[in-house]
Chains A and B, each alone.
Chain A
Amino acid sequence: MSDARGPRAQGLLRIGRAAFPPSQPLIMGIVNRTPDSFFRPGLTWDEPAAMARVDQVIAEGADIVDVGGIPAAPGAEVDVAEEIRRTAGFIGAVRSRYPDVVISVDTWRHGTGRAACEAGADLLNDSWGGDDERLAEVAAEFGVGLVCAHAGRQRPRTRPFRVAYADVMADVLDHTLRLAERAVSVGVPPDRIIIDAAHDFGKNTWHSLEVTRRLAEMTETGWPVLVSLSNKDFVGETLDLPPEQRLPGTLAATSVCAWLGARIFRAHQVTESRQVVDMVSAIRGDRPPARAVRGLA
């Protein structure tokens, strides 16, 4: 990877044994091994329920299963041992059941990342902006993928408090590109590195809307872009709706990001998200309709 940060074309993205072209948007299905996440709390806290959830998201069309053991919001302390207990064994079980599915672990800690990789994870999804620098070294050691996110230099599990940016997208670009370049320098394969603006993380609603509006500035860098929009507060505040009523707003944001070239969509509602990104993909001309006979018979 050169240091030049000018526009670059999107290339092949490798995760696990798979390789995905820019024309193929990916859905990352969320599986929370937590009792207290903000959306449907505790739904998949039990392992059988979590495995049923994995079955469901794969059946609904998820390309990636994202397993997390800690909610983003502040709350009861979850130490590394407990986080590993919640995620690593379960990742091993998913790997046994689905030898070819792409498995991601949602963590910022290198200890958890290492345990997850040993259990079969393909991707380290760090939403907290590289708080633990050794996570990139774990990605390099195992040859797995790494998400380089912007959290506005907030510590993990903290809420934004009066955050202000001279230019939020400039800050997002500066931080995520620096993390990506550092990841390359420690040996993470460049075609396994992904960038993420991290909506809501270190951002107020105005900032998340701005980042959505200007997402093309991220996709033009050539790095594959992940967006994590699902039922988040910026949707809730924009539409004045509680978490369980944020699906239409989530899908609207999903469609804008898909149009602007995002490639991975982290989602709770996989069926609906899959339909939206496939539809936008067809509008972009990246994907043919499933079946076209109208006016053609």
Chain B
Amino acid sequence: MITSAALCPAPPLLARELTGADPVVPALRRACLDAVAALIADGPDLVAVVGVAGETRAWPPDGQLDLSPYAPSLRTAQPMPASAPAWVPLPLGLGARLLDQAGYQGRRELQSISDDEPAAACAALGARLAGASARVAVLVMADGTARRGLKAPGYLDERSVPFDAEVERAVRAGDLTALLTLDPVLAQELMATGRAGWQVLAGAMNGVRPAAEIRYCDDPFGVAYLVASLQAGG
């Protein structure tokens, strides 16, 4: 049974080490941490972290964030865990780190979803995660489009702004079922890497209309970042 959910973006720059001397996005990091703190505040007995990656699979729950593919020179700077670490895909690693930073020590699952997974499969995965324990909290690491301006990673595509606006509306209104109708082809064209993740979230909520709080909604680098907390009623 799902009790709450949090939505955070998963850009590499969420890792403080990657932005160099300048924190660059302190407000975004703060919003993510606040969202995760709220997520675990009412004592879930399981937190499922969901992130979009190349394949759909479960990862070791103690999986760690590996920044070296993004910044080779940080390889030696990272503290090595006592036991051999399991590196996990970036969104899951960032989510796991947020849980660590928020002080969560309970049971967790790390689950990736393939970026080409159809909506029904995403929703089914969400429903399975929501049913995995009595009090499940879900942390979805998912990003909006990356084509929101001339300087955006994917350059400007005029369809990006309305696409992201619909995602924000659906989340703000707790109308998560609407996320299941997002067009995967359009999402891919707009480099909205989070599409599958949002659809997992919709499946986890399974028709419940949660109360939503938007904590961050901006695009400082032409990529839409949305941070939200969702409480599943009751």
Least CB distance, A210 to chain B, in whole angstroms = 4
Least CB distance, B149 to chain A, in whole angstroms = 11
Check B69–A164 contact: CB distance below 8 A.
yes
Contact of A210 among B72, B90, B150 (CB under 8 A): B72
Q: Please report which residues of chain B, range 21-71, place their CB below 8 angstroms from some CB of chain A when the two chains form the complex.
A: 22, 69-71
Check A206–B154 contact: CB distance below 8 A.
no
Interface check A166, CB cutoff 8 A: yes
Check A166–B191 contact: CB distance below 8 A.
no
Check B73–A206 contact: CB distance below 8 A.
yes
Size band of the interface chain B makes with A: 10 to 19
Check A167–B72 contact: CB distance below 8 A.
yes
Check B72–A207 contact: CB distance below 8 A.
yes
Check A162–B11 contact: CB distance below 8 A.
yes
Chain B residues near A238: list those with CB within 8 A.
20
Q: Mark B114-143, 1 if CB is under 8 A from A, else 0.
A: 000000000000000000000000000000
Summarize A's interface: helix, strand, loop or mixed.
Answer: loop
How far apart sit A44 and B71, CA to CA, in the bound complex (Å)?
Answer: 36
Interface check A160, CB cutoff 8 A: yes
How far apart sit A190 and B22, CA to CA, in the bound complex (Å)?
Answer: 45
Interface check B74, CB cutoff 8 A: yes
Check B73–A209 contact: CB distance below 8 A.
yes
Contact of B70 among A74, A158, A164 (CB under 8 A): A164
Chain A residues near B72: list those with CB within 8 A.
165, 167-168, 206-207, 210
Please judge, given known A-B contacts A206-B74, A210-B73, whether A158 and B90 are in contact too, CB under 8 Å.
Answer: no
Chain B residues near A159: list those with CB within 8 A.
152-155
Interface check B18, CB cutoff 8 A: yes
Q: Please report which residues of chain A, range 141-200, place their CB below 8 angstroms from some CB of chain B when the two chains form the complex.
A: 158-168
Please judge, given known A-B contacts A206-B18, A237-B20, A240-B22, whether A161 and B153 are in contact too, CB under 8 Å.
Answer: yes
Q: Please report which residues of chain B, range 51-102, place their CB below 8 angstroms from some CB of chain A when the two chains form the complex.
A: 69-74, 90
How far apart sit A163 and B11, CA to CA, in the bound complex (Å)?
Answer: 11
Interface check B106, CB cutoff 8 A: no
Interface check A23, CB cutoff 8 A: no
Interface check B12, CB cutoff 8 A: yes
Which of A162, A207, A238 neighbours the largest number of chain B CB atoms within 10 Å of its CB?
A: A162
* Interface residues in chain A, defined as those with a beta carbon under 8 Å from any beta carbon in chain B: 74-75, 158-168, 204-207, 209-210, 213, 237-238, 240
Q: Can you list 11 pairs linking A and B with CB atoms under 8 Å apart?
A: A74-B155, A159-B154, A161-B153, A162-B70, A164-B69, A166-B69, A204-B70, A205-B20, A206-B71, A206-B73, A207-B71
* Further contacts, 19 of them, CB under 8 A, given A74-B155, A210-B72: A74-B154, A75-B155, A159-B152, A161-B146, A161-B153, A161-B154, A161-B191, A163-B70, A164-B12, A164-B69, A164-B90, A165-B69, A165-B72, A205-B20, A206-B18, A206-B70, A207-B72, A237-B20, A238-B20
